[in-house]
Structure 1
């Protein structure tokens, strides 16, 4: 059977189980999309300053990529206030998205902290308990009917 790239599967309890590889691809695409979009205004703001060392779109892209990854080599940095705001925003966006990717990686390989597994087990146990309770309820109803028949005689 050929594996397919589905975004998620649904288990027997109706829980969506997202494909980690799919989430990784989407997260990276969104991250680099945001970097590409924010590089335009960063470049424009920094181009207006004579003290800026960001002199091309490529420099702006590199600056935001380094900011998002928290590496920040320091070879390019903003000198204008709007440029600094963009780089700071990209830092927080990048930390969140890179952290998400890291969490997915750890969850995939370490997985013992996966609460979804525990939740599925609890749902299964609850389903069994409810079925048993319904069975007992029918027995009690049957006993009550018999007691009522005896009492009414």
Structure 2
């Protein structure tokens, strides 16, 4: 997790706004996630293809079957029509299950955040906090001016008596 955070810091896929909050480029992150997902699916699919097609009785007959197995594993659907019977095949399915759920869950969270506007609410809250701070500063200036005017009025009243 720390490695991923360091990579994100060095990637410059974010801008720091006036409130000091990092706003990530979700389009680039989404595209990167989809590409990573595809590469992992294809790579682990190939490993599964090599491991499974050499075994008699394996439901994995070709690369398309192995790729389908990886897709079904990554989405946690797993229809059961294609399944691994070798240890290597089972390990690749397990790895794809973990990585696929993580990547697809992350992409889903990004899209849900954008669609339902949770990020926009946070931005509005930060804007309101900044406006409140400005209002408080303005009120303090007005209070100081009023204090000066009160002092002048008291001095004027003392002179008039």
**TM-score where L is the length of structure 1:** 0.68
SS of alignment partner, residue 79 of structure 1: coil
Deviations 1:20-69 (A, max 9, x none): 22221111110111111111211111022101011212211111011111
SS of alignment partner, residue 9 of structure 1: strand
Higher helix share: 2
SS of alignment partner, residue 104 of structure 2: helix
Q: Write out aligned runs for 1:33-44 (5 A).
A: 33-44=39-50
> How much does 1:8 deviate?
3.3
- Distance change in 2, residues 1:118/1:75 (3 Å): same
| CA RMSD of superposed structures (Å) | 2.9
Whether 2:69 is the aligned partner of 1:63: answer yes
Q: Write out aligned runs for 1:100-115 (5 A).
A: 100-112=106-118
Residue of structure 1 equivalent to 2:158: none
Deviations 1:98-152 (A, max 9, x none): 1111111111122337785378459848x86xxx6xx9xxxxxxxxxxxxxxxxx
SS of alignment partner, residue 37 of structure 1: helix
Residue of structure 2 equivalent to 1:50: 56
Distance 2:96 2:32 in 1: 17
Distance 1:99 1:89 in 2: 15
Whether 2:9 is the aligned partner of 1:8: answer no
Q: Indicate if the aligned counterparts of 1:68 and 1:90 stay in contact, CA closer than 8 A.
A: yes
**TM-score where L is the length of structure 2:** 0.65
Residue of structure 1 equivalent to 2:80: 74
Q: Which has the larger radius of gyration?
A: 2
Whether 2:67 is the aligned partner of 1:90: answer no
SS of alignment partner, residue 77 of structure 2: coil
Unaligned runs of 5+ in 1: 1-5, 136-153
Deviations 1:53-106 (A, max 9, x none): 112122111110111111212221101111111101101111111111111111
